[in-house]
Amino acid sequence: MTATADGSTGAVRPRALSQTPNGASPNGASPNGAAPDSAGGTAEKDRLIRAAEQSSRRAVEYLLSLQDTAGWWKGDLETNVTMDAEDLLLREFLGIRDAPTTEAAARFIRGRQREDGTWASFHGGPGDLSVTIEAYVALRLAGDAADAPHMASAAAWVRGQGGIADSRVFTRIWLALFGWWRWEDLPELPPEIIYLPKWFPLNIYDFGCWARQTIVPLTVVSALRPVRPAPFALDELGGDAAAPGRSRRWSPVASWEGVFQRLDFGLHLYRRIAVRPLRRAALKDAARWIIERQENDGCWGGIQPPAVYSIIALRLLGYDLDHPVMRAGLESLDRYAIWQEDTATGGADGAGPSRMIEACQSPVWDTCLATIALADAGVPADHPALVKAADWMLDEQVVRPGDWAVRRPGLAPGGWAFEFHNDNYPDIDDTAEVVLALRRVRHPDPARVEAAIERATRWNLGMQSKNGAWGAFDADNTSGFPNRLPFCDFGEVIDPPSADVTAHVVEMLAATGLRDHPSNRQAVAWLLAEQEANGAWFGRWGVNYLYGTGSVVPALVAAGVPESHPAIRRAVNWLESVQNEDGGWGEDLRSYPDREWIARGVSTASQTAWALLALLSAGERDSKSVECGVRWLARTQQEDGSWDEPHFTGTGFPWDFSINYHLYRMVFPMTALGRYLNGAEGALEPLETHGARES
């Protein structure tokens, strides 16, 4: 496979730089075309350092300019057009869709259509059946005619892929809401699941928090099976429920898939005989569960999908749109919208405002990463911007129990969440990175910082899973059953430990004086065992092996694993072998389903930075691979100090739900350049966490 000029289709097969000494390519030049080291090597190195310094200064100025007056940073969180389509479908279902919102959303959706008529789930990716169906339906709502060229090509492609019957369950749920699909041909999800005890398989706490927040309201929708009159037919998409599709395929009864298909069949039968008082009680308790988890700003966990389904569920249960819960929920949805007033997005109606819906917002994550980047770039530890960021983060610490306490009932709270408002679901990853950020700030009230770090450290230690590693939101959320439900075909629905989250906690514990804590030693052993044969680590929350390796190697070195350790050397060799010829690194999201794509892709700023962070921590500062990577960052920086990165390098669910964090293109290159110029250790402020050490 080859890449097009913009790298949007096909893979790039990087030259294996480790095949020749010092990472030089076979023609004697470094991967970016620079002359090999010689008598003029010192001058060349000086020029590289000056270029890195200039790039770092420009990046610092640009990032500082993006800080909100309250102290936080937040980049756009871009996913795919299902967010925009489902927002319009929700408004249609509730009867509140208006022309300006519809036109702006349609303009954005049209602008993301591919030349073949499809929509992808990530930039440069292949057409996705469910995304294309939902985008198509949204444009029909906006008034686009079925026989318009861009619509006809989309419909033809959908039919060629099996039609609606082969789309994912969530897409067919949206269609069922309007009678375009039969509820009887969807998996059953009874609200009585809320009564399953916590030790019983498939209780709601067996699901990851994001799935749990979505599934509980969907049990209400599944039970009540509402149908609003469809404003048009969808025959052109192949909507016959009897058509061959995944909803009609049966697996052998001896297989797990066959077992769960028959369980679903049994649940359909149960629906006919369910005890009415029990069903009514379950619906009432599901509503109570939903309302109890609504945040103070009206959202649910700071995530758009649970908010959408919670609003639908409560509306079906009789909650008026003017009810305070509903009003706050609808107002919170508007805060996920990003309006662009002055851009043409390629729609048939020309230029005009477009409206993109964020699936989530990432201010805590962005702020802690920006703080680390600025500090590592040499911004003074007591700089007003860093102190203001620290103040904001300190105010965001979650100090009350959430759903995580179901598995850890005696653990005191102290974590941070990802979003502006999400007290129910703080996460281990944000907590670790916030602590690392606070450790880089010289705050005027050090006792306040130390107390916050103490609480956070205790909480993260308490959230360690039995195997010595950490998941993102819950401890020991590892049941294999939820992923097997026919209903759960929309991505990951459990939250097992991952190498990237575990690495961040290991790095945090080392930074807070707990390098030799038994929990940290156990985690280090787990990470070493998780290394793959090629020398890399899998990336759960970033794409993919570049993210995993870029997270784990610095953590292992911080935890005392020597740079000469075989695991570190294998990682270095792997990173050098997959460096692109232009000096950068890139990895396409297709590496999740297809190992042939591992570490193959167009060079990106964030992924190049991840590779550099690993190499720098492994003592490779003067290697050709590092020099070429730094040179690539300096060369590709834009005039304003930023980097362009249309490719998606973040993940919600590997492969199924991809994310472009628009601030990644800034914070990670800045961190890498800063550590190349300044080293890594000097940025940490001395701080002890005595209580956690003694625990």
Average pLDDT rounded to a whole number, residues 508-533: 97
Residue 208 or residue 37, greater confidence: 208
Predicted local distance difference test score (pLDDT) of residue 486: 76
Q: What is the DSSP letter of 685?
A: P
Task: Look at residue 109 and tell me whether its pLDDT is greater than 80.
Answer: yes
How far is residue 53 from each of residues 32, 56, 227, 369, measured CA to CA in Å? 19, 5, 61, 20
Cα separation, 201 vs 192, whole angstroms: 14
Residue 524 or residue 691, greater confidence: 524
Task: Look at residue 254 and tell me whether its pLDDT is greater than 80.
Answer: no
Predicted local distance difference test score (pLDDT) of residue 56: 97
How would DSSP label each residue in 111-163?
Answer: HT--TTS--BSSTTPPB-HHHHHHHHHHHHHTT--TTSHHHHHHHHHHHHTT-
Please report the domains of the chain, with CATH numbers, ordered by start residue.
17-24+45-75+362-482+497-694 (1.50.10.20), 80-357 (1.50.10.20)
Instruction: For residue 610, give the 3-state DSSP assignment.
Output: helix
Please name the residue ranges forming H helices in 463-534: 499-511, 518-530
Q: How confident is the model at residue 246 (pLDDT cuts 50, 70, 90)?
A: very low
Residue 487 or residue 436, greater confidence: 436
CA 4 vs. chain centroid, Å, equals 26
Best CA proximity match to 303, nearest among 491, 104, 120, 72: 491
Q: How confident is the model at residue 471 (pLDDT cuts 50, 70, 90)?
A: very high
How far is residue 339 from each of residues 76, 77, 336, measured CA to CA in Å? 11, 13, 10
Predicted local distance difference test score (pLDDT) of residue 492: 83
Predicted local distance difference test score (pLDDT) of residue 30: 39
Per-residue tokens: 339? 């309006």
Average pLDDT rounded to a whole number, residues 464-487: 91
Best CA proximity match to 321, nearest among 595, 94, 569, 565: 94
pLDDT > 70 fraction of the chain, expressed in percent and rounded? 88
Average pLDDT over the chain, rounded to whole?
A: 89
Predicted local distance difference test score (pLDDT) of residue 272: 85
Cα separation, 303 vs 336, whole angstroms: 9
What sign results for the dihedral spanned by CA atoms 27, 31, 35, 41? negative
CB 540 within 8 A of CB 500: yes
Q: How confident is the model at residue 268 (pLDDT cuts 50, 70, 90)?
A: confident
Q: How confident is the model at residue 240 (pLDDT cuts 50, 70, 90)?
A: low
pTM: 0.89
Q: How confident is the model at residue 20 (pLDDT cuts 50, 70, 90)?
A: very low
Cα separation, 411 vs 399, whole angstroms: 11
Cα separation, 482 vs 256, whole angstroms: 12
CB 456 within 8 A of CB 435: yes
pLDDT > 90 fraction of the chain, expressed in percent and rounded? 78
The neighbouring-strand residues paired with 339 are: 355
Task: Look at residue 2 and tell me whether its pLDDT is greater than 80.
Answer: no
Per-residue tokens: 199? 């030790």
Best CA proximity match to 540, nearest among 584, 477, 488, 604: 477
Per-residue tokens: 257? 């898939």
Least confident of 14-28, 42-56, 259-273, 533-547: 14-28
Q: How confident is the model at residue 88 (pLDDT cuts 50, 70, 90)?
A: very high
Residues with a known catalytic role:
429
